[in-house]
């Protein structure tokens, strides 16, 4: 199952994808310092994004299908079946 990206998370997700592409070619290009600087900016952007979420956006994020449920954790520790 792929990760579900909500509309307000798309800019951060796209930046993270571009960073991953840059990391793959960083050895050849010698851009490690630039990558570190951009990663710090992405971290700040994430912090600002999630700090100012409205109640409905927070609920969407919390109820996202890509988040684990309580049952997925319980199945790891028990042989019980949950309905």
DSSP letter for 9, please: G
Closest among 51, 26, 29 to 39, alpha carbons compared: 26
3-28 pLDDT tens trace:
778 888 888 888 888 888 888 877 77
- Alpha-carbon gap, residue 80 to 64, rounded angstroms: 25
Residue 69: band (very low, low, confident or very high) from pLDDT cuts 50, 70, 90: low
Give the 3-state secondary structure of residue 8. helix
Place of tokens 């997925």: 72
Q: Please, where are the H alpha helices in the chain?
A: 10-29, 32-51, 55-62, 70-77
């Amino acid at each position: 199952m792929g990760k579900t990206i909500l509309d307000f998370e798309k800019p951060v997700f796209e930046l993270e994808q571009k960073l991953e592409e840059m990391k793959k070619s960083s050895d050849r290009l010698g851009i490690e310092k630039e990558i570190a600087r951009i990663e710090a900016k992405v971290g700040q952007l994430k912090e600002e994004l999630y700090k100012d979420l409205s109640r409905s956006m927070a609920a969407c994020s919390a109820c996202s299908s890509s988040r684990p449920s309580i049952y997925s954790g319980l199945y790891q520790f028990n042989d019980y079946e949950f309905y």
